[in-house]
Structure 1
């Protein structure tokens, strides 16, 4: 959520009378919620709910500001031969059962080992992908046991590495996917039109949590995020609009 919040902070400080300092730290969803609960932060940004991180959400107030799609992305050499992947094959790849592209439905050229990219523990993007993409929770121990698997600390670093890779697949937040190829999943294109109607399944609301109802500058900032002018910016930088959702989660 960092691109969204960085833009929000810049616009909020330009448009409002607030003269203080707002710091955006990319620590991951789980750590952000933990920091909020320990009074180390005023707002926790998360792709997932506190219960999905194993934390108690008692006393927290959820402010949903956007929708985020998570896309399955591949290296340039794979995108030339494959446009769609099934959930079954995707799960097989991430559980180590499928190790060569010839085992993937729709692959019609010579065999090639699969390089698998995944995101670090505590990442909300990883939780969204495992929950709604492959419907399987994977442990760090399991993922690290495969020599062809590589871990990344963010969607930005994963997609950058993917651009120069061979035989690679990963997943990333859609705002970071403009320079890589996104696969259809079960024949459905990753797009916000498909998220809004529930056709595309790998998505999450973008949550900002506070301890209790916000007041003062925190309330002013959250109100700014929900106003119509800033919601236009939400769509411009690769997020979906809460107001357009026809389904809920």
Structure 2
């Protein structure tokens, strides 16, 4: 009888230890993000830092298995990010706009994590002649430019030469365009022959390359290129950190990621790292305003 008691006690002790550890079979060590091309570089940088710092999951938490950390980040736009989570293709969806109620309704257990505040700056090439005469632009003028009603810079200011306005946008199905449509265009459509850039970085590059271009570069991308492009004030309000956070600057948006259901232990460890001092620094280095 005493022998049986000892064996039973030993079994309890064994179970007590394993309850705090994870086997490789039950541990989900791969994490995937899909969605916004504005947020993707930031999450990619943070994940690179996380992997380089730890390498394997047991370095993150001694109860995790000695398994290689694998974090996959792909960018296909905010709408695709939401869809990828709904369809179970990705763990997290990256979104550069507010998530719609109609989208949230498709989640069983909607979770949202706001990483940064962003704005769309109305930017032109530093050599654009309009900057000699004005550095503020009205919402009404923007609507006329992006709709195609104003075709030449001389339509904006008659002191300028009759040079065609080259309108640069993000893809019309993306989060950035949706923010611009809501904030500036309303029921008026952007002209069909506007150049659609595949990413914010590409949008800024096109403005840098064309003296007569105008586009809505994100605050982060603008900050990384402000030696080459200039941002207008809009309706007299500059796209500064203070004005973005206060809501005074109207063309703004959150950068966030979403999930359906509770975080796994590995996911929680990485999400905690995103909001750590090291993660916040990566957000700032990307030119955005971190949510602290």
Q: Which runs of 5+ in 2 are unaligned?
A: 1-38, 58-67
Aligned residue number for residue 214 of structure 2: 169
Aligned residue for 2:159, secondary structure, equals coil
Which of 102, 105, 115 aligns to 2:154? It is 102
Aligned residue number for residue 53 of structure 2: 15
Aligned residue for 2:267, secondary structure, equals helix
Q: Is the 8 A contact 1:69 1:192 kept in 2?
A: no
* Counterpart Cα distance in 1 of 2:145 and 2:263: 43
- What is the Cα-based RMSD across aligned positions, in Å? 2.2
* Counterpart Cα distance in 1 of 2:52 and 2:259: 23
1:81-160 counterparts in 2 under 5 A? 81=132, 82-104=134-156, 108-136=159-187, 138=189, 143-144=191-192, 146=193, 149-160=194-205
* Counterpart Cα distance in 1 of 2:87 and 2:142: 37
The number of equivalent residue pairs is 236
Aligned residue for 1:238, secondary structure, equals coil
Q: Which runs of 5+ in 1 are unaligned?
A: 244-249
* Counterpart Cα distance in 2 of 1:121 and 1:45: 17
1:38 pairs with 2:87 = yes
Q: Is the 8 A contact 1:50 1:57 kept in 2?
A: no
TM-score, normalised to structure 2, is: 0.74
Q: Which has the larger radius of gyration?
A: 2
Query: Which is bigger in relative contact order (C-alpha 8 A, separation at least 6)?
Result: 1
* Counterpart Cα distance in 2 of 1:9 and 1:151: 29
